[in-house]
């Protein structure tokens, strides 16, 4: 497949995304190919570790290739998108639970579906150019691919902040928020990956790591926690509106661009995924409740139209923030019954 290279080098399983002109956006076929490789290598004694990287300087993976979802969804066919998400989430769970070390090298943009490939791995490497984000609320979706779990596990209320604003994290922020593990300068990556191919030992990553860059998010942690501790999106917005600060102003501007229903559900999901019982399968199962309904009952198709198809950046969301009720959020996140996300090893999220 020209969009992805899957091979073994010595005892190292290698996956390289090869769509640099498309910012390595993941297609459905790429998703299936990655999952097939994960299944094949899990019990293969000839494979000791996995290394996932991508061609090009601009992006590890800027997200999913959603043009086909838009085309089918506009035709009233929601099955393709639901199938894509179902199979992608199975792959995300497999990566998060993988029985062998997996090292991901995350240069440039790592967003949306790219987070699902790279940020559930056991060893997540960033560099000077890394920009990690979950910007799905900007297209009428929610942070998915297990992203709500990462957000919920971030320090304080960073999860609500990053999930609703879609804010980008540089390398220092990604390390602070728990989306990455090690900082290795980009120039050192080729030699490090070659060493991993020769000697499948992730301790090589630890030895190559350098001190974490400064995290602007860490410096704003107290301010973020204070403003994003509300129970609902409405609580958060009202608190920000009462403040005459640069942080409140810029944050309100970011929130104003995104789909209100998506942001409200993101806040709720962050809350649900804190504490006992949380985990990758729980987060994916909850996310699938929203994405299953996203084309028909939320703003996903309109979000894609505004951002990708017409590129007018002027989405017409279904609701204003003050119109989104707890009942609307509950309706998007209700259990799906027989349509629920099913994990292909027979174990389902709770």
pLDDT at residue number 349: 42
Residue 350 is predicted with a pLDDT of 34
pLDDT, tens digit, 9 for 90 and up, residues 273-293:
997 888 999 999 999 999 999
Containing 224, the helix (H) or strand (E) segment is helix 221-227
What lies within 8 Å, CB to CB, of 108 at 6+ separation is 23, 56, 57, 58, 59, 60, 62, 129, 130, 131
Other beta carbons within 10 Å of 128: 13
* DSSP H/E element including 177: helix 171-177
* CA distance from start to end of the chain: 36
Write out the CATH class of domain 4-339: alpha beta
Alpha-carbon distance 224 to 236, whole Å?
Answer: 10
Angstrom distance (rounded) from CA 326 to CA 347: 30
Q: Mean pLDDT, to the nearest integer, of 83-94?
A: 98
Using alpha carbons, select from 270, 284, 286 the residue that is nearest to residue 155. 270
The DSSP code sequence of 18-76 is --GGGTTPBPHHHHHHHHHHHHHHHT-TT--EEEEEESSSSEEE--B--HHHHHHHHTT
Work out whether strand 12-17 and strand 123-126 pair parallel, antiparallel, or are unpaired.
unpaired
- The CA-based angle 211-212-214, given to 5 degrees, is 125
The share of the chain scoring above pLDDT 70, in percent, equals: 98
pLDDT at 191 over 90: yes
Q: What is the DSSP letter of 4?
A: E
Looking at per-residue pLDDT, the higher value among 66 and 233 belongs to 233
CA-based angle 295:132:134, to the nearest 5?
Answer: 25
Domain boundaries, given as residue ranges, for the chain? 4-339
Residue 214: how many CA atoms within 13 Å on its side-chain side?
Answer: 3
The predicted structure's pLDDT at residue 346: 54
Helix (H, G, I), strand (E, B) or coil at 283: helix
Structure tokens at 85: 């998400």
- Is the Cβ–Cβ distance between 31 and 18 less than 8 Å? no
Whether the Cβ atoms of residue 129 and residue 107 lie closer than 8 Å to each other: yes
Residue 76 in this model has a pLDDT that exceeds 70 = yes
The phi and psi torsions of 312 (rounded to 5 degrees) equal: -85, -10
User: pLDDT tens digits, residue range 121-132?
Assistant: 999 999 999 999
Contact at 8 Å (CB) between 59 and 20? Answer: yes
pLDDT band at residue 203 using 50, 70 and 90 as cut-offs = very high
- Split at pLDDT 50, 70, 90, the class of 66 is confident
Average pLDDT over residues 61-77: 91
Q: Write down the pLDDT at residue 67.
A: 85
């Amino acid at each position: 497949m020209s969009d992805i290279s899957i091979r073994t080098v010595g005892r190292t399983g290698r996956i390289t995304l090869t769509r640099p002109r498309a910012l390595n956006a993941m297609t459905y076929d790429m998703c299936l190919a990655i999952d097939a490789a994960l299944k094949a290598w899990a019990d293969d004694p000839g494979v000791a570790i996995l290394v996932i990287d991508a061609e090009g300087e601009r992006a590890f993976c800027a997200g999913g290739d959603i043009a086909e979802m838009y085309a089918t969804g506009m035709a009233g066919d929601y099955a393709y998108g639901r199938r894509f998400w179902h199979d992608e989430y199975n792959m995300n769970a497999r990566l998060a639970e993988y029985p062998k070390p997996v090292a991901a090298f995350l240069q440039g943009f790592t967003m949306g579906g790219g987070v699902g490939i790279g940020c559930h791995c056991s060893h997540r490497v960033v560099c000077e150019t890394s920009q990690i984000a979950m910007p799905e609320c900007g297209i009428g979706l929610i942070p998915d691919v297990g992203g709500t779990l990462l957000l919920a596990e971030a320090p304080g209320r960073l999860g609500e902040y990053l999930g609703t604003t879609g804010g980008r994290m540089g390398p220092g922020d990604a390390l602070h928020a728990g989306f990455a593990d090690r900082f290795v300068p980009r120039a050192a990556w080729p030699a490090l990956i070659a060493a991993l191919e020769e000697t499948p030992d992730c301790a090589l990553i630890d030895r190559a790591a350098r001190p974490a860059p400064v995290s602007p998010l860490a410096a704003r942690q107290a301010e973020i926690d204070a403003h994003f501790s509300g129970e609902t999106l409405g609580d958060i917005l009202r608190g920000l509106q009462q403040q005459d600060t640069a942080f409140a102003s810029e944050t309100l501007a970011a929130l104003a661009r995104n789909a209100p229903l998506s942001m409200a559900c993101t806040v709720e999901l962050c809350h649900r995924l804190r504490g006992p019982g949380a985990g990758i399968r729980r987060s994916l199962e909850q996310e699938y409740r929203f994405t299953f309904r996203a084309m028909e009952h939320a703003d996903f198709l309109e979000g894609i139209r505004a951002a990708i198809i017409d590129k007018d950046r002027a989405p017409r969301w279904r609701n204003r923030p003050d119109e989104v009720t707890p009942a609307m959020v509950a309706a998007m996140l209700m259990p799906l019954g027989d349509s629920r996300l099913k994990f292909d090893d027979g174990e389902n999220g709770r």
